[in-house]
Amino acid sequence: MLESQLLNADELSAGGAGQIGELIVAFRARSLADPDLKSATLTARLGALKRLLKTWPGIEGRAPAEITSSAVLEWAARFKREGTGFRPPGAKTIRRGNSATSVNSAIDVLRAILDLAVEGGLIRDNPVVVRRSALGGRLKKRPTRKALIPPSRTQLEALFAAMEGNGAVGGRGAEAADFCRFLAMSGARVGEAARLRWRLVLWDRGLVHVPGYKSETSARFLPLFPELAAVLKRIQARRRSAARYRPGRRDFLGPEDAVFRIRECQKTIDAACRRTGTARLTHHDFRHLFATTCIESGVDVPTVSRWLGHSDGGVLAMKTYGHFRPDHSHTAAQKVRFSGLG
């Protein structure tokens, strides 16, 4: 069925065909048929397409030539200002505006759809690549960076304890706590932690092979720090104990078994943050925490960058992950002397 939806350039330009609606069908089908597209990326792409259709009513019946740069800028401005008109369950008012990610991903989808029009000879240039026009203004929405102040070590210990207290002893709460400990002690992305297998824990070499997937350089070897090794050994002990007291149950410690029995635990993190009075954290914030801890410990930025799976020598690591704790800043300030300047 997908093959019948995959329109080629000749079909798009023949017989007056090639309205935006037909291009959308082709775009959706190509996305669904792409074997290299991760499921999360596909879901995000289709969600962005849905937002495009909701915020630009009637676009499916328009000809590509009608989608001018001015029309794109006007739509983007309206989207940023009014959003999709979504009303959260139980809310009395419609939510106004949308996040930068929501807006910009919809713009990227529109650009990809119009690339098909260029490919089919229906238009010469893609109007979405024009970022500014005589109307002025920025096409994409400027993201607002989250000002993360990493929790102190005491706060972090309380957070993990609260997570462990969520559920039966040795159950999901303990699994979630160790999952987050691993993120904080390895800098792994949540998807990388979910893909980790026991064969990738190289005990004899003191390394963990992080199964990166975001880029060619993201697959990497990480030192098996003592605290990190202790977390992994505790997981093994918990699995063996569970198998021992439940006849017929595997311990899930084979080479191809997943190190973690969960793929995410955001609800558990949220509950623990509320219980401890900690500002809300996400899985990715633990990656920030790892980089911050390494930098505060005196590890040079290029090394931290390699541990994170970056290939830019540390530029992104310093810009994105250099969140120093206030107590570290105060300690460092005591070392500064302005002799002769007073």
278 within domain boundaries:
yes
Tell whether 202 and 309 lie within a shared domain: yes
Whether 147 is in a domain gets the answer: no
- Domain extent, residue 298, equals 153-327
Token pair of 121 as six digits = 């000879």
Q: 96, 129, 162: which is the final residue of a domain? A: 129
Nearest to 325 by CA among 298, 303, 293: 293
Say whether both 212 and 90 belong to one domain: no
Do 268 and 166 contact (CB within 8 A), yes or no? yes
Compute the distance between CA of residue 17 and CA of residue 162 in angstroms, rounded to an integer: 59
Tokens of residue 281, six digits = 């954290």
Q: Which amino acid is at 192?
A: E
H helices present in 245-297, as ranges? 266-276, 283-296
Could you tell me if 108 and 169 lie in one domain? Answer: no
CA atoms of 260 and 196, how far apart (whole Å): 8
Tens digits of residue pLDDT in 181-208: 999 999 999 999 999 999 999 999 999 9
Judge if 57 and 159 occupy the same domain: no
Q: Is residue 72 part of a domain?
A: yes
Give yes or no: residues 73 and 107 share one domain.
yes
Tell me the C-alpha to C-alpha distance, in Å, between residue 253 and each of 11, 53, 89, 175.
53, 47, 42, 14
Distance in angstroms (rounded) separating the CA atoms of residues 38 and 214? 10
Cα 18 to Cα 120: distance, rounded to the nearest angstrom: 8
d(CA 114, CA 67): 9
User: Which residue ranges of the chain lie beneath pLDDT 50?
Assistant: 1-16, 132-135, 168-170
At 96 the pLDDT is 62
The number of distinct structural domains making up the chain is 2
CATH number, domain with residue 18: 1.10.150
Give the pLDDT confidence score for residue 268 in this predicted structure: 94
The CB density around residue 334, as the number of other CB atoms within 10 Å, is 7
